[in-house]
Copies of this chain bind each other. A is one copy, B any other.
């Protein structure tokens, strides 16, 4: 089990021939066209097309023979040709900043499940939190002439913005309602989430509150949460007692190390607000390791409402965000034809055992 191994599979019990680098075996579905099916069924192409798409009229007799021919030949329709010939495509582009944070797979999951049921295929793009990368991805996805585009966030480069506006398809911006959108916007206010988090901590009586976050320059929604959080503290005559901002993406490890650092830098903290649950769970683990009493010695608050936060021995106080629901709602809007609108979904503050 040391090195990667590539071994020929002569012994693995399969045809040694027929790699895709060779000509496909006769009778294989690849390369069979509608013309073939029509000829084999003894009907015209258009008739075969109508039958295969159950659209238009044809006798049940021709129907049977076309279906039979298609099955016998192993016909696989060519959607590329179909899309080019018809007007609308059945592809939907989805652009997310990352796949490493479960938030975005959740979003994808919601979107993909609704899209799949409506006959759409999801084409994904991952920006790595880079707006310039997003711009390139948008151009690339648009070139597939998708029926619509789902994209996380409201911030784009000017060129990306122009492309989205000029695309002539539904654009759904997800997960953020703090700002102006291009077409449809589905999400919630991160700023309000931050404000609600701050109010909760204040109400609970915490006064020396620190912040442990990850790279805010990249994660704009986390930055908006923090901004809402900070301004609410300010309105209550408080300020963030200390902060540590990792230059890495959010992770459990970054949260754990971040908490360790803020504890060593800032005296007498009674609560810490984390940029998200991953970070907060890291902090929680640190407290467990060091025997720091929660919430007596230190209170912890996260964001997202992940399963790991909910199932921890002390459920984390956090805000549950409707990630899957945002994906679902966004996908449903692809086929809508109303004017631009903003769909706001609820987040829910969860009073766990860590505050």
Contact surface of A with B, Cβ cutoff 8 Å: 1-9, 12-14, 16, 18-21, 24-25, 27-31, 74, 76-81, 83-84, 89, 91, 99-100, 102, 104-106, 108-109, 112-113, 116, 121-126, 139-145, 148, 162-163, 165-171, 180-183, 185, 192, 251-253, 256, 281-282, 285, 288-289, 307-308, 310-313, 329, 337-347
Known contacts A25-B166, A30-B166; A313 and B285 CB within 8 A of each other: yes
Q: How far is the CB of A198 from chain B (nearest CB, A)?
A: 15
- Of listed A18, A113, A180, A192, residue having the most chain B CB within 10 A: A18
Give the chain B neighbours of A108 by CB distance below 8 A. Answer: 99, 124
Give the chain B neighbours of A182 by CB distance below 8 A. Answer: 14
Q: Name the contact of A84 in the complex, choosing from B74, B84, B141 (C-beta under 8 A).
A: B84
Q: Name the contact of A20 in the complex, choosing from B139, B142, B171 (C-beta under 8 A).
A: B171
Determine if A344 and B180 form an interchain contact, defined as CB atoms under 8 angstroms apart: no
Give the chain B neighbours of A14 by CB distance below 8 A. Answer: 180-182, 340
Determine if B339 and A16 form an interchain contact, defined as CB atoms under 8 angstroms apart: yes
Determine if A5 and B344 form an interchain contact, defined as CB atoms under 8 angstroms apart: yes
Give the chain B neighbours of A165 by CB distance below 8 A. Answer: 18, 28
Enumerate the 10 nearest inter-chain pairs by beta-carbon distance, A residue then B residue, closest first.
A30-B168, A28-B166, A24-B168, A21-B337, A105-B105, A99-B109, A79-B143, A252-B311, A29-B166, A99-B105
